Chains A and B, each alone.
Chain A
Amino acid sequence: MYWGRRSRLTGIAYLAPAVLFVLAFTAYPLARMVWMSFHSWSLITPPSWVGLGNYRRAFADDQFWVSFAFTLKYTAIITPILIVGGYLLALLCSPGSPLRRLTRTLVFVPVVIGLGVSSLLWYWLFSTDFGLINRALLDLGVISKPVLWLGVDADLSNLAITTSVVWKVIGFGMILFVGAIQAIPTEIHEASLVDGAGHWQRVTRVILPLTLRTVLVVTLVSVIGSLLAFDQFYIMTAGQPQNETATSVFYVYLNSFPYLRLGYGAALSMILALTILVFTVVQLLLTRRSHA
């Protein structure tokens, strides 16, 4: 009995720092956000209770839904690129590939750069007047006048931002895929070779099914990351042209800080969080099924 209580106390002592950390930095802020979403609060004046007013306002706010739709579109475009691209790069890095070391290094280096920094870098690269991309294309004769990459045409802006994000994060998925591919037992590879499977058959019939769980994990991470996209759009287009590239989080930021509507921003965040929760649950169910 004495030892049981002691070991229980020891266990609690070990857990306590982590529990306190989670309570302070996850549970409390989340609870505070829920509380805020039911208030009107500008930070510089006291909060006042508005009940569901912020939520009603959100559902009637066209600009929020425009930004939400754009975020979904962006997610739908970038996620397949990151999954397929990351997977192909991982195959290039598989054991025996001559490009293995070079590909790994070149593709993974941008992952360690901050998203804000890489967005600023690409902002300057795509700059109409001062950017290297337009300069290079002009010198090569590909274009006759500078292309207005950012803030003028929504599709072109999206293309430029997608390029920058793919450059920045594709290495993350690649490394996960490399790990999953390398975890496949050598015997399975050898057995497929004995059975006479070609390269393409080994990829589609052996490697892909055995790494499907990782594909779903990377998809989940990519979807959540894309739904929370902010830095790249804030820095590269600030939502332009005419709010057509404003993401949901950018809209939350605008309301919460420059506009000082913290309660409304919290309500928008709650709607976004619930959306991500739905995606996550669906993905986890799929992952569990693939595992089973």
Chain B
Amino acid sequence: MRSRLWLVLVAAALVLAACGNDSEAPSTAAQAPAATTSCASNGELTMWERSGGNKQMVDMLVEAWNTKNPNCKVKLTYIPHTEMVGKIAQGIASGEVPDLMGMDLIYAPQFEKAQQLVDLTDRISTWPELKTASKGHMTVATFENRLYGVPLYADVSALFYNKDLFKRAGLDPDKPPTSLAEMRAYADKITALGGDIKGYYLPGNCAGCNIFTVGPLMWASGAKIEAAGPGDEPLVGDGVKQVLQFTRDMVKAGNVHEGDRTENGETFHLQFGSGKVGMMGTGNFNITLARQQNPKMDFGIALLPGVAPNSSASFIGGDLVVVPKGSDRVDDAVNFMKFLLSDEVQVEVYAKALNLTTRADMVENKYFEAEPLVQDVAKALTVGRTPYTLTFFEQINSPQGPWLKMLQRAYYSDDNLDTVIADAKAAMKSIASQ
């Protein structure tokens, strides 16, 4: 009996001690060492990234880290873009997660809300680098005032135009269109050149390509597209109908190749470099690609316009770096983030490769100064935005979603545009309310 009592007392003391420890435990932030751009501990770090993104850029960033930190190299695994969300979810469900992940930024809020990413607020929110970090990225890296990631790379959309075709059509190659009306007038002139030349490009079967390039035309015209959540109204503003009318007119006027209807994203990146398109919404990644594809082609970059003269907008896409819950190497994951945002990496890796810097204050650098096209496309960061919704895939990106259906009806049918918009609006609201 005495021994039992003794055991109970010891157990009670241990429980009390444990409770006491809990209540006095310092916060995670206090425990965490200050971030550096080097290893916190030795051993390989695992990282997942989507293969459909800016692979070349990510390879360079990881290589730069690995060179600087040979004792804690990042081992990068690419996952097909279309399988990334499912793969991350499976990893989380099974507890088999990497130490850090590159994540298509538009899907971040969904995982943040589900509390599957490590809350980094206490570790990184005071970093001065974040004051100038890409606003689009930081918006979706934040959920209920908590921070979950930093930019990995940025893809922005802009209007690419073929200066050779502008000259042939009698247009001033240094004066790109500044409104939808001008874009239509210029496209008519370029299409009139005949042959296989068309003034404009619309990816008819690719939801993601369209939110990247047609979405900004709506934003620039004062419209709102996605429903953020239950009760939120999507497709608001006259700009939606005005842009749909503009695109329908472009198609009907023959300013778009008929084959564009089948574009599902597979050859989207090759279209401008073909030299057969006068103007096209595409991304900064197309600067290098178009040059490789068509070295003799002279082209310029302007901001995607809206209805009003000199209005403009852009889609800020790309990836975030986040830390999934269950990561064993949070300190080094944070150090990797610090490394990405450092002045040296911003200039000597991002800018040197002619990729956008993820900090606005690093846009002025020696590499961009020698490359006017990158300077032009970098302006898109100042007018860009990133949609914020928990159901982006279903509302916008899905080939079965209401966004693509609305666009296809607008481009290729004679359906009443008010009906087309009303149908899409109802479908988006229904998805957002689930």
Query: Residues of A at under 8 Å CB distance from B?
Result: 42-45, 63, 123, 127-130, 145-146, 148-152, 237-243, 246, 251, 254, 256-260
**What separation, in Å, do the CA atoms of A134 and B397 have in the docked complex?**
29
Whether the Cβ atoms of B393 and A44 lie closer than 8 Å is no
Residues of A within 8 A of B261 (CB): 128, 148, 151-152
Whether the Cβ atoms of B264 and A151 lie closer than 8 Å is yes
Contacts A44-B116, A257-B85, A260-B85 known; list 20 others, CB within 8 Å.
A42-B114, A44-B88, A128-B262, A146-B259, A150-B262, A150-B264, A151-B261, A151-B262, A151-B264, A152-B204, A152-B261, A152-B262, A238-B205, A239-B399, A241-B205, A243-B399, A251-B400, A254-B398, A259-B398, A260-B89
B191 at the interface (CB under 8 A from A): no
Whether the Cβ atoms of A44 and B92 lie closer than 8 Å is yes
Chain B residues 88-121 with CB under 8 Å of chain A are 88-90, 92-93, 110-111, 114, 116
Which residue of B is nearest A260, CB measured?
B89
Whether the Cβ atoms of A42 and B267 lie closer than 8 Å is no
Residues of A within 8 A of B357 (CB): none
Residues of B within 8 A of A254 (CB): 398, 400
**What separation, in Å, do the CA atoms of A238 and B204 have in the docked complex?**
13
Chain B residues 102-150 with CB under 8 Å of chain A are 110-111, 114, 116
10 pairs of A and B residues whose beta carbons are closest in the complex? A128-B259, A257-B86, A43-B89, A238-B399, A44-B114, A43-B93, A151-B205, A128-B262, A129-B259, A151-B262
Closest chain-B Cβ to A240's Cβ sits at a distance in Å of 5
The listed residue (A44, A130, A251, A256) touching B111 by CB distance below 8 A is A44
Whether the Cβ atoms of B264 and A240 lie closer than 8 Å is yes
Given A239-B399, A258-B393, the answer on whether A44 and B93 have CB atoms closer than 8 Å is yes
Whether the Cβ atoms of A246 and B89 lie closer than 8 Å is no
Residues of A within 8 A of B270 (CB): 130
Residues of B within 8 A of A257 (CB): 83, 85-86, 89
Chain B: residues with Cβ within 8 Å of the partner, total of: 34
Whether the Cβ atoms of B90 and A43 lie closer than 8 Å is yes
22 intermolecular pairs with C-beta atoms under 8 Å apart: A42-B114, A43-B93, A44-B93, A44-B116, A63-B400, A127-B267, A129-B267, A129-B274, A130-B267, A146-B259, A148-B258, A148-B261, A151-B205, A240-B205, A240-B264, A241-B205, A251-B400, A257-B85, A258-B82, A258-B85, A258-B86, A260-B110
B405 at the interface (CB under 8 A from A): yes
Residues of B within 8 A of A130 (CB): 267, 270
B266 at the interface (CB under 8 A from A): yes
B355 at the interface (CB under 8 A from A): no
Closest chain-B Cβ to A193's Cβ sits at a distance in Å of 54
The listed residue (B114, B264, B399) touching A45 by CB distance below 8 A is B114
Whether the Cβ atoms of B86 and A260 lie closer than 8 Å is yes
Closest chain-A Cβ to B324's Cβ sits at a distance in Å of 10
Chain B residues 232-291 with CB under 8 Å of chain A are 257-259, 261-262, 264, 266-267, 270-271, 274
B358 at the interface (CB under 8 A from A): no
Whether the Cβ atoms of A148 and B259 lie closer than 8 Å is yes
The listed residue (A44, A63, A149) touching B89 by CB distance below 8 A is A44
Inter-chain contact total with CB atoms closer than 8 Å? 89
Residues of B within 8 A of A149 (CB): 262
B408 at the interface (CB under 8 A from A): yes
B394 at the interface (CB under 8 A from A): yes
Chain B residues 327-363 with CB under 8 Å of chain A are none
Whether the Cβ atoms of A43 and B92 lie closer than 8 Å is yes
Whether the Cβ atoms of B110 and A44 lie closer than 8 Å is yes
Whether the Cβ atoms of A243 and B400 lie closer than 8 Å is yes
Chain B residues 127-180 with CB under 8 Å of chain A are none
**What separation, in Å, do the CA atoms of A43 and B91 have in the docked complex?**
9
Residues of B within 8 A of A152 (CB): 204-205, 261-262
Residues of B within 8 A of A148 (CB): 258-259, 261-262
Whether the Cβ atoms of A145 and B400 lie closer than 8 Å is no
Whether the Cβ atoms of A146 and B92 lie closer than 8 Å is no
**What separation, in Å, do the CA atoms of A240 and B404 have in the docked complex?**
10
**What separation, in Å, do the CA atoms of A258 and B104 have in the docked complex?**
13
**What separation, in Å, do the CA atoms of A45 and B88 have in the docked complex?**
13
Given A42-B114, A148-B258, A151-B262, the answer on whether A239 and B85 have CB atoms closer than 8 Å is no
**What separation, in Å, do the CA atoms of A199 and B265 have in the docked complex?**
52
**What separation, in Å, do the CA atoms of A239 and B393 have in the docked complex?**
15
Whether the Cβ atoms of A239 and B267 lie closer than 8 Å is no
Most buried by A among B258, B274, B397, B399: B399
**What separation, in Å, do the CA atoms of A152 and B399 have in the docked complex?**
13
Whether the Cβ atoms of A146 and B267 lie closer than 8 Å is no
Whether the Cβ atoms of B259 and A240 lie closer than 8 Å is no
Given A240-B205, A254-B398, the answer on whether A259 and B393 have CB atoms closer than 8 Å is yes
Given A151-B205, A242-B405, A260-B85, the answer on whether A127 and B116 have CB atoms closer than 8 Å is no
The listed residue (A63, A123, A240) touching B266 by CB distance below 8 A is A123
**What separation, in Å, do the CA atoms of A238 and B397 have in the docked complex?**
12
Which residue of B is nearest A259, CB measured?
B394
Closest chain-A Cβ to B385's Cβ sits at a distance in Å of 23
**What separation, in Å, do the CA atoms of A193 and B86 have in the docked complex?**
62
The listed residue (B258, B264, B397) touching A146 by CB distance below 8 A is B258
Closest chain-B Cβ to A268's Cβ sits at a distance in Å of 14
Closest chain-A Cβ to B290's Cβ sits at a distance in Å of 16
Closest chain-B Cβ to A291's Cβ sits at a distance in Å of 44
Closest chain-A Cβ to B105's Cβ sits at a distance in Å of 16
**What separation, in Å, do the CA atoms of A43 and B405 have in the docked complex?**
28
Most buried by B among A127, A130, A145, A151: A151
